[in-house]
Structure 1
Amino acid sequence: MTNTKSHAQLEFDILQSTIPDAAILPFKNEILALCDKFGQSGQSGGSAPYTACVISKAVELLLLQQPICEITGHESEWVNVSDLGNELLYQNKRCSALFKNGDGTCSYVDAIVWKGEEEWDTFTGSVYVDNNSWELIRSKQNVKFPFKPKTFYVDVVRVPISKQEAENNNLHYIEGSDRECYYTVLKDPKQLDEVFEYYNKRVC
């Protein structure tokens, strides 16, 4: 039976002859070196699939400049980006969507993504919890350390409203390209229960 590197070399030879512009070919030597290391690591039939999955996921995260272990919140992980605004602000070096404010609170920009009724309709920002309290909930939520980035998808619905009525009631509304206005409200507020088990609720 061929070893891991020999198998990978054969596959690359076939790939290069059939798809010479394949995206992974420029990384051929590095991938072969990884396959060689893996093949020499003494993996068994039971451990090989698990280890291969762990390695591939780590490589994916690193290539996308994402953390491969929990973020500690240690002072060494932050860089001052106060020049982006008027207040003291730090950005995490390991997770670009994680920020620390001057009061020490840390928030993750993509904690919640709102999911509309159409498949294409996903967005971040602020929506209302219901039509009674008019409480706004933001996509950005405060984190607990150690922290692993996690995004929750929460269902919302659009409620049509006239621009005049929205402005008279000081509501957070959207005006579409067709000049129609609406505000967005949670479809099921209970979906936030899971969110706030993971995140500390941020007050708008």
Structure 2
Amino acid sequence: MSNLVEHARRELELLGEEPQTVQGYLNVVQAFADMGHSGGSASVAIPVIHDLLQFKNLRPLTNSPEEWVNVADALWQNKRNSEAFSDDGGKTYRLLSEGGTSRNRGPKHISEEAK
């Protein structure tokens, strides 16, 4: 067992997690440890994994029609970031986390040009 996995086991047990839950977390930590990251590469990989686990996009959203789905009359939702909504087919968008709703128009973002 790697130092990372052993650390995770101790910390999870201190939380009083159920054994099945602890094992599930340890499987994920072990998979990460098996990637063989050094301290430097781990510090790059961890934020990427964190964002992916939260369904965040890693690259900017684009105006590609393939990236947007019409969910209501003149309202599109992004397939890569479910909190991004557009009223112009993906050219611009608003994020729910920034107050971008039909009643409260949050900050507007401009999509990158599709390649």
TM-score range for the pair, normalised by the shorter chain length: 0.5 to 0.7
**2:63 matched residue in structure 1:** 73
Structure-2 change in CA distance of 1:43 and 1:26 (3 Å) = same
1:107·1:143 contact (CA, 8 Å) conserved in 2? Answer: yes
Structure-2 change in CA distance of 1:93 and 1:49 (3 Å) = closer
Distance 1:100 1:27 in 2: 42
The one-letter code matched in structure 2 to 1:108 is Y
Indicate whether 1:30 and 2:20 are aligned.
no
Q: How does 1:1-204 map to 2 (within 5 A)?
A: 2-16=2-16, 27-59=21-53, 61-62=54-55, 66-83=56-73, 88-95=74-81, 96-101=83-88, 104=89, 106-110=91-95, 125=104, 139-141=106-108, 143-146=110-113
**1:198 matched residue in structure 2:** none
2:70·2:76 contact (CA, 8 Å) conserved in 1? Answer: yes
Larger-Rg structure: 1
Q: Which has the higher strand share?
A: 1
**SS class of match (2:8):** helix
Deviation at 1:26, TM superposition (A): 7.7
Q: How does the TM-score come out when normalised to structure 2?
A: 0.63
Deviation at 1:107, TM superposition (A): 2.5
Q: How does the TM-score come out when normalised to structure 1?
A: 0.40
2:64·2:90 contact (CA, 8 Å) conserved in 1? Answer: no
**SS class of match (2:39):** coil
For the aligned residues, what is the CA RMSD?
A: 3.6
Q: Which runs of 5+ in 1 are unaligned?
A: 114-123, 126-137, 148-204
Deviation at 1:36, TM superposition (A): 0.3
Deviation at 1:12, TM superposition (A): 1.4
Deviation at 1:32, TM superposition (A): 1.4
Q: Deviations over 1:53-106 (max 9, x none)?
A: 3323432x32xxx323322332222222334xxxx43222233332142xx563
Deviation at 1:35, TM superposition (A): 0.8
Q: Deviations over 1:92-135 (max 9, x none)?
A: 2233332142xx5632224xx6xxxxxxxxxx85xxxxxxxxxx
